[in-house]
Amino acid sequence: MEEAFKDVPVIAGTMTWGVWGRNLDTSGMEGLMHHCLEAGIHTFDHADIYGGYTTEAAFGKAFASSGIRREDIRLISKCGIQYVCDARPVGIKHYQYDADYIVWSAERSLSGLQTEYLDLLLLHRPSPLMEPREVAAAFDKLKTSGKVRRFGVSNFTPSQIRLIETAVPVEAHQFECSLSARGPLTDGTLDDCLIGGREAMAWSPLGNFFREQGPEQERLAACMQSLKPKYGADESQLLLAWLMGHPAGIRPVVGTTRPERLTDAVAAADIRLEREDWFALLVAAQGHKVP
């Protein structure tokens, strides 16, 4: 079914909406949802573990009272991490991907988010005990019942994706990627997205630029001095534009809860960096010219 809206590339990451971050109340979450839609952001990224398994329910409560139509938003969630916290009687963090658990976890996310379906369900992190047939059985049951529309993975290697695809297609991949985390450019991750036609999503898309001082940050800041007036953009917008300039069509998962920063992130999607400027940022980040 065709979506009723045109989604911008930017995805709203909800990890810090709850107790792991700003701890927004219901009214605050409602207001941020509406701001996202007004800015053009319709996709919201969740994971069952966020907030120690509490953020999806907090978001769902706000969504239920927001007046927003379900068909006007896109919901992503992730499952598979058994996280040590008050909500789970587990002794050690581990991963679980048997069919019954995947189905149970997805249904729990649906209940928390107060929705009848997820647009996309991701396996959160790879497990050495993954059995592709178990994953396929869960995906088949969830898709047949209409509870999940599309399936993907998060933080997998290309070979781990090939393993899962021996039993079921992988339609999307979410991974860390930025000018600070450049591995996906050369480790096959982005090649795999292009080859497989997978939706590519990047978490922590601004990297360490605003979090860590050091030579890399200094080089990037110096490089951006001439680019900021050239493109009428600030540092965060240039970092996002660099990421979105890749041919894989990377969608940044932006974790801020500040409305103005979300608006700025959307504006970054319209920036088209010239090829030499794209490489200038890459060279500044890595500290040496390309081979």
Residues with catalytic function? 50
How large is the C-alpha radius of gyration of the chain? 19
Return the bridge partners of 173, or none.
Answer: 153, 200
Computed from CA positions of residues 241, 246, 249, 253, in that sequence, does the dihedral angle turn out positive or negative?
negative
DSSP state of 169: -
Of the candidates 261, 234, 11, the one whose C-alpha atom is nearest the C-alpha of residue 122 is 11
Of the candidates 115, 108, 221, 102, the one whose C-alpha atom is nearest the C-alpha of residue 168 is 102
The whole-angstrom separation of Cα 281 and Cα 224 is 8
Contacts of 167 (CB under 8 A, 6+ apart): 132, 133, 135, 136
CB neighbours (10 Å) of residue 230?
13
Of the candidates 109, 149, 139, the one whose C-alpha atom is nearest the C-alpha of residue 14 is 109
CB neighbours (10 Å) of residue 91?
8
Report helix angle 55-66 to 26-39, nearest 10. 70
Of the candidates 136, 209, 159, the one whose C-alpha atom is nearest the C-alpha of residue 179 is 209
